[in-house]
Amino acid sequence: MRPRHIALAVLVALIWGLNFVVIKLALTGFPPLLLTALRFMLAALPALFIAKPAGLRWRDMALVATFLFIGHYAFLFSALDKGMSAGLASVVLQSQAFITMLLAVPILAEKPGRRQVTGAAIAAAGLIITASTVGLDVTWMGFALTLLAAASWAMGNVLTRRLPPTPTFPLMVWLSLIPPLPALALSLLLEGPERIGHALTHVTWTAGLSLLYIAVLSTLVAFGIWGFLLKTYRAGMVAPFSLLVPVVGTITAHLAFDESFGPLRMAGMVLIFAGIMVPALPWPRRPRMV
């Protein structure tokens, strides 16, 4: 990869890693389901200027957006609102990688390789160890909602692979048209008109700028760059940069909120990260015996 493209890949990882801290800040002013609706209202605005990708059916788009966007972010935002730490969430959410592998077996008839199974086993052990520390400074509800967010993201990944080949940025923009109304309906039902009205009429600078970061930088800018890199290089060269996201997430959460992790939780987080690395990174092949 060219140096400037490596810099762009690192920039995307920084944007996505910092996103967990920014979500926490946005939740100081918006309830989680309303935040989900507002995020995608803003992210869908480029659809006014970008044509709908050819070959995409609304039925398929709605199914993908339900899991990839509505479930993923509604659960994640709710988790961070209900006691999940930003740093831990940035790591646990990456379990979507091996959940995607598990879901791809029955849905896409994809048989996982040895490295994928090994990585999943390591990450699962890490999740079990991490879960044993829940209840100290992280709530069980927050932890469970983060796992649901990972599972929803994973299902969205699998369903996205059933769509016709489509450039990443237009796909993300047009999928963003679907979540606002369902998320807003859920917000009205579960969070109530009074809470929504108060949030919209008492927007602080912190919450407002955080919302713009989530919608513009984390969604439009980052996915736009990521889509460009995936068109320019093989996925195997680009995807490993996403491993920087939980690293950035834990570091920025420590700096912003003074989050710290005991030895047991740190061991679990390291195992989750290692389990993701095993199938994601290229490993040297053994030379064949002649």
Domain locations in the chain as residue ranges: 3-278
Number of Cβ within a 10 Å radius of residue 83: 15
CA-based nearest residue to 79, from 69, 70, 71, 89: 89
Provide the whole-model pTM: 0.88
pLDDT of 210? 97
CA-based nearest residue to 174, from 47, 49, 55, 60: 47
Average predicted confidence (pLDDT) for the chain: 87
Would you state the structure tokens that stand for residue 206, as one six-digit string?
Answer: 């912190």
How does residue 90 score in pLDDT terms, banded at 50, 70 and 90? Answer: confident
Q: Please say whether the beta carbons of 128 and 277 come within 8 A.
A: no
CA-based nearest residue to 153, from 83, 76, 234: 76
Would you state the structure tokens that stand for residue 279, as one six-digit string?
Answer: 């199938």
Cβ neighbours of residue 260 under 8 Å, at least 6 residues apart? 254
Rounded average pLDDT over 42-50: 94
pLDDT of 286? 54
CA-based nearest residue to 70, from 32, 107, 18, 113: 32
Q: Please say whether the beta carbons of 281 and 240 come within 8 A.
A: yes
How does residue 108 score in pLDDT terms, banded at 50, 70 and 90? Answer: confident
Question: Rounded to an integer, what distance in angstroms lies between the CA atom of residue 264 and that of residue 144?
Answer: 19
How far is residue 84 from each of residues 95, 104, 139, 149, measured CA to CA in Å?
15, 28, 6, 12
**pLDDT tens digits, one per residue of 273-290:** 787 777 666 655 555 544
pLDDT of 136? 66
Helix residue ranges, H only, the chain: 3-26, 32-43, 58-65, 72-81, 86-92, 96-108, 114-131, 140-160, 168-175, 180-190, 193-201, 205-212, 222-232, 235-238, 244-257, 263-280
**pLDDT tens digits, one per residue of 198-230:** 999 999 999 999 999 999 999 999 988 988 887
Question: Rounded to an integer, what distance in angstroms lies between the CA atom of residue 73 and that of residue 80?
Answer: 10
How does residue 121 score in pLDDT terms, banded at 50, 70 and 90? Answer: confident
Would you state the structure tokens that stand for residue 196, as one six-digit string?
Answer: 């929504």
pLDDT of 119? 79
Question: How many whole angstroms from its chain centre is CA 104?
Answer: 18
